[in-house]
């Protein structure tokens, strides 16, 4: 530190023990990523899509489901099964090491469509930055931002993420915090969409690149404190996005502009997800519940749609 510190000896020792992360703020890491039509279809199946424009390459309206870019950070350019964490995930890991961290949990995710992805796929670059860290409960929230770009620099997708580092300590709040509350209406939901996940949902979803054994191996799940393997949080996000696009966007991916969600509880594959929705102008606010357990598994959610209107 290049500043003078005043106070008691204990206060001074505490100050100097705090991790200085300012030199990491804004530093960028990038990795090559790619996908093809098969990858897009496999992802769509992983989030439960049955609509032909997302699962049949010869459909005249074939398109990449808008939330697909989330998995590219795991997949990179590979088509085979991968270790976890994958090479691409390691290459773009901008979450700083914090003292005391026991486990990292996915907190919130945000995605904005800047330009539609080409339906035939292609080669891209994923650029990621660490933008902030803030104390929360018995740990820290770490905020990151990413952009999916062409090799020439054209931005297609902007993404933000917030991770919760359980047990993290000895750091100072720094930079941005992307975790922001979304006020939900007090009225009953305008629309509720029920989506059944299969017992093998995580088995399919993982083939898009996230091979964390927590989602398939019973022993790993028990080591993580779960009775059985759980569904990927980003798979739950995909189910919610599908529900909103179906109910308010006529399943037209061109109308999908952005999504934000906070993960609050795990989903067990085979459960029915209830996506509760409230339309507020171009925004469709949503929560997701497990029908079987009555537990909110995702909240603070919204999707921004062009010309949003309910099909009901």
The set of catalytic residues is 210, 215, 230, 233
Q: Where is 125: in which H helix or E strand?
A: strand 122-135
d(CA 163, CA 101): 12
Dihedral-angle region of residue 46 (phi above 0 means left; psi in -120 to 50 means alpha; beta otherwise): alpha
Contact 157/173 with Cβ under 8 angstroms?
Answer: no
d(CA 293, CA 286): 18
Cβ-based burial of 204 (10 A; exposed 0-12, middle 13-18, buried ≥19): middle
- CA 190 to chain CA centroid, nearest Å: 25
Residue 12: C-alpha distances to residues 15, 17, 62, 151 (Å):
5, 9, 62, 48
d(CA 209, CA 182): 30
């Amino acid at each position: 530190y290049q500043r003078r510190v005043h106070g008691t000896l204990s206060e001074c020792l505490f100050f100097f023990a705090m991790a200085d992360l300012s030199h990491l703020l804004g530093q960028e890491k990038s990795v090559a990523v790619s996908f093809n039509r098969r990858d897009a279809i496999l992802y769509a199946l992983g989030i439960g899509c049955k609509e032909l424009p997302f699962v049949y390459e010869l459909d005249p309206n074939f398109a990449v489901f808008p939330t697909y870019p989330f998995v590219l950070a795991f997949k990179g350019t590979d088509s085979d099964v991968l270790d976890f964490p994958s090479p691409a995930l390691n290459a773009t890991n901008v979450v700083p090491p914090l003292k005391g961290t026991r486990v990292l949990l996915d907190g919130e995710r945000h995605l904005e469509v800047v330009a539609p992805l080409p339906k035939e796929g292609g080669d891209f670059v994923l650029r990621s930055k660490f933008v902030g860290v803030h104390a929360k409960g018995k740990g820290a929230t770490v905020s990151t931002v990413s952009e999916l770009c062409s090799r020439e620099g054209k931005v297609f997708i902007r993404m933000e993420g917030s991770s919760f580092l359980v047990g993290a300590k000895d750091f100072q709040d720094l930079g941005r915090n992307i975790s922001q509350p979304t006020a939900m209406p007090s009225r009953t939901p305008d629309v509720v969409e029920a989506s059944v996940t299969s017992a093998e949902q995580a088995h399919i979803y993982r083939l898009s690149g996230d091979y964390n054994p927590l989602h398939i191996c019973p022993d790993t799940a028990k080591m993580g404190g779960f009775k059985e393997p759980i569904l990927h949080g980003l798979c739950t996000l995909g189910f919610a996005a599908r529900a909103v696009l179906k109910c308010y966007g006529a399943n037209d991916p061109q109308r999908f502009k952005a999504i934000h969600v906070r993960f609050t509880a795990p989903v067990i594959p085979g459960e029915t997800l209830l996506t509760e929705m409230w339309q507020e102008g171009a925004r469709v606010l949503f929560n997701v519940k497990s029908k079987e357990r009555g537990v909110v598994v995702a909240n603070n959610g919204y999707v921004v749609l062009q010309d949003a209107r309910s099909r009901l």
